[in-house]
Structure 1
Amino acid sequence: MPRLIPDAGPQRVIAASNFVYTVGSGLYLTAGVLYFTRSVHLPAGQVGLGLGIAGLVSLALGIAVGHLADTRGARGVYATTLVVQALATAGFVLVDSFWPFVLAVCAATRAKAAGLAARSPIIRRYGGDRPQEFRAHLRSVTNIGISLGALLAGWAVQVGTHTAYQLLVIGNAIGFAASAAVLVLLPPVTPGPTVGGPRWIALRDRPYLLITALDGIMAIQFKVLTVAVPLWLVAATAAPPWLISGTMLINTVIVIAFQVRASRSIDSPLTGGAAYRRSGVAFLVSCSLIALSAGAPAWAAATLLMTAVVIHTVGELWHSAGGFEVSFALAPEHATGQYLGVFGLGAGLAEALGPGLLIALCITWGRPGWYVVGALFALTGLAAPLAVRWAQRHQGAHPTHSESPLKELAA
């Protein structure tokens, strides 16, 4: 089990701020959709459409705010995004129809995307010799916070009243505001020296953009356990419905216990690329086992699903660790926020488009769709090491380097 409380200093402040933030996030992730459908009485289709719109309009903001954090100071920019997110989330209690819902959720989602980019220079500055490993540590803390938030959200769902759901939303907003307040204890992050050349260098870095695209495809895996597996378990298997909670519990416990350990051996871009390759194979095996659970007896379906979840989570550990490594190691220090803002585009697209894709392939199409999704992950994992090699060549090349990407990948 990793040591979850860092030594006193900036890392402890960052971890505390992250913990408070994720407790609030856990409240919303567990029951946010239920608030809008059961309490505000918006149709589920409108809620899905609004969330998709919010995900798409938030994509580019992270790049601009990340650049602002690089040049103006990350602590203040990050704290501002948390305050905006708190205010936007509090605005959910005023939502009574579709368009106010879209405006509020767009504001909250954009602030979240901006905050993830603005936080990256902070992690790089105070993450020690291995900020990638500290990022893995924060992911373990994140899972603990979300789990606690989910337990608290269970009360609101059980009570089911409009007031209970509004208290859940207010608690979420308070968590974001408290996370910003904790940052007061963090020393300011001094902006790095201004470097000449193009302003938006991350958008000109073709190898990094390719890795971002590959990570975005791989990031669809995060929706497998939260979207595809619950629907598949209920509609296509004889496994008991309570197993949905069991799959999430197994996933959370493994991530908390092993994410830091999984990241320690991934200490270079090349090992990061190899981690993507291993994760793709794990996802292929997991998806195949899930497909086989259809039509099996209840005990066999449950065994196949639980085994698949364990294998999927191992792949998730490798994917996350590989992403932490390549996203930081291949980003120049003076433009960390901008580069990590670009890297977030992939995950943002997966967030917006992944659920619909998984439902179309795995649920509507059925068993063949699971094999297709698994193969997509495996092929993406195989491409990642090639993209990393190209990025490393690009890092060491002269700015006028113009060798063909295909030639470099084949080298």
Structure 2
Amino acid sequence: MPPLLPDAGPQRVLAASNFVYTVGSGLFLTAGVLYFTQAVHLPAGQVGLGLGIAGFLSLAVGIAVGHLADRRGARGVYATTLVVQALATAGFALADGFWPFVLAVGAATGAKAAGLAARSPLIRHFGGDRPQEFRSYLRAVTNIGISLGALLAGWVVQVDTLAAYRLLVIGNGVAFAASAAILLLLPAVGPGPAVGGPRWIALRDRPYLLLTALDGVMAIQFKVLTVAIPLWLVAATTAPRWLVAGTMLLNTVLVIALQVRAGRTIDSPAAGGSAYRRAGVAFLVSCSLIPLSAGTPAWVAATLLMTAVVVHTVGELWHSAAGFEVSFALAPQHATGQYLGVFGLGAGLAEALGPGLLIALCISWGRPGWYVAGTLFALTGLSAPLAVRWARRLRPVRQPPLETAVPSDPAGRR
């Protein structure tokens, strides 16, 4: 299990900012959907539609802001995105209908996508000889923060009052603002060197775009834990409500303990492609276990759900490590932000399509939808090694040898 903070220096500042940010994220990841359905009283279908609209609106933001971070300096750009997230998230407490909800969640989702792209040059610059390992470390620290936020969210779900849900939202916004303030202690990072050629080179890289699309489909798996399981647990099982937080805590503890180790075993694009394939199989197994929890005694439902979460988390570890390796091993150093912004399109697809798709399949349709979702993940994982081979085959012709680095998380949790 990694220490909470690394040795003094820029890495400690980045880790501290990331930790505070993810305590707030843990609050909302665990109970955000329930806030809008239980406190704002929006139907689950409207929540899925609103999250989808917000995801589509954020698709292009990461590319533009990532390019801006490459050209203008990443620290200030990243800090600005955190401030915008803080204001937008606090606005959730004022949302009293569908369109105010869409406005607030659209601003928050766009700022999150922009922040993931803007943070990538900082990770590459301050990550040392092996930025991949520092990125895996950051993901482990992320899950420490999320686990603390999930503990507080479990109390909110159990209390189930409007005041408690609003306190959850305000706490999330305060955490984002504090994260931005800590980031100001980081040394400034100047813009990258000017390089000739087309400005938007990442958009011309067809193999990279294909990998982006595949990773985006696979990233819908993050919504299984934060959207599908909470709604399924409350609506279709007799398991206690506090298990909503329990499933998130189990997931985060496993990620904290194992993500760095998983990242060390995936050290090439080819290994990343194989990890995608294994992840798809794990998601198929977990999605096949979850629907068995309906119509069973509470202890059986809880056992099945927790077992499914363990299997799902193994797939998540492989998926995350594969994304860390593949997306940045194929990105030129001078355009890290732009390439990570393009790769963030996959996260945008997951944000836009994931909640609505999973609600339609797994909640509205029910048991058969879980098997369809698992099959989708498995087929995506099987396709990834082919896309990696295509990218590696064309890479020597398209650009000079690249340094490896690490990507940001598409669901906001990595």
Given the two structures, how large is their TM-score scaled by the length of structure 2? 0.87
In structure 2, stretches of 5+ residues that fail to align are: 400-414
Label 1:386 to 1:254 Cα distance change in 2 as closer, same or farther (>3 A). same
| Map of 1:201 onto structure 2 | 201
Native 8 Å contact 2:27 2:150 kept in 1:
yes
| Map of 2:412 onto structure 1 | none
Q: Distance in 2 between matches of 1:44 and 1:32?
A: 12
| Map of 2:66 onto structure 1 | 66
Label 1:148 to 1:96 Cα distance change in 2 as closer, same or farther (>3 A). same
1:89 Cα deviation from its structure 2 partner: 2.5
**Alignment-mate amino acid for residue 59 of structure 2:** L
| Map of 2:371 onto structure 1 | 371
**Alignment-mate amino acid for residue 143 of structure 1:** N
1:69 Cα deviation from its structure 2 partner: 0.3
Q: Distance in 2 between matches of 1:292 and 1:258?
A: 27
| Map of 1:9 onto structure 2 | 9
1:153 Cα deviation from its structure 2 partner: 3.9
Matched, 1:114 2:95: no
Q: Distance in 2 between matches of 1:362 and 1:32?
A: 18
Q: Distance in 1 between matches of 2:292 and 2:45?
A: 30
Label 1:154 to 1:130 Cα distance change in 2 as closer, same or farther (>3 A). same
Native 8 Å contact 2:247 2:309 kept in 1:
yes
| Map of 1:323 onto structure 2 | 323
Native 8 Å contact 1:2 1:258 kept in 2:
no
**Range moving further from structure 2, 222-231 or 265-274:** 222-231
Equivalent runs, 1:231-380 vs 2, <5 Å: 231-233=231-233, 243-293=243-293, 301-380=301-380
| Map of 2:389 onto structure 1 | 389
**Alignment-mate amino acid for residue 72 of structure 1:** R
In structure 1, stretches of 5+ residues that fail to align are: 400-411
Native 8 Å contact 1:233 1:239 kept in 2:
yes
**Alignment-mate amino acid for residue 9 of structure 1:** G
Label 1:90 to 1:238 Cα distance change in 2 as closer, same or farther (>3 A). closer
1:180 Cα deviation from its structure 2 partner: 1.0
SS at structure 2 position matched to 1:185: coil
SS at structure 1 position matched to 2:182: helix
Q: Distance in 1 between matches of 2:108 and 2:167?
A: 18
Matched, 1:144 2:144: yes
Native 8 Å contact 1:212 1:342 kept in 2:
yes
| Map of 2:51 onto structure 1 | 51
**Range moving further from structure 2, 134-143 or 101-110:** 101-110
Identity of aligned residues (%): 83
Matched, 1:125 2:161: no
Native 8 Å contact 1:2 1:261 kept in 2:
no
Q: Distance in 1 between matches of 2:158 and 2:305?
A: 27
SS at structure 2 position matched to 1:172: helix
Greater relative contact order, per chain length (Cα 8 Å cut-off, separation 6+): 2
Native 8 Å contact 2:146 2:252 kept in 1:
no
| CA RMSD between the two structures | 2.6
Q: Distance in 2 between matches of 1:233 and 1:374?
A: 18
Equivalent runs, 1:150-169 vs 2, <5 Å: 150-154=150-154, 156=156, 164-169=164-169
Q: Distance in 1 between matches of 2:303 and 2:40?
A: 39
Q: Distance in 2 between matches of 1:103 and 1:229?
A: 26
Q: How many residues align?
A: 399
**Range moving further from structure 2, 106-115 or 233-242:** 233-242
| Map of 2:171 onto structure 1 | 171
**Alignment-mate amino acid for residue 307 of structure 1:** T
Q: Distance in 2 between matches of 1:100 and 1:361?
A: 26
Q: Distance in 2 between matches of 1:244 and 1:156?
A: 11
Q: Distance in 1 between matches of 2:351 and 2:255?
A: 20
Q: Distance in 2 between matches of 1:341 and 1:37?
A: 31
1:31 Cα deviation from its structure 2 partner: 4.0
| Map of 1:192 onto structure 2 | 192
| Map of 2:220 onto structure 1 | 220
Label 1:33 to 1:359 Cα distance change in 2 as closer, same or farther (>3 A). closer
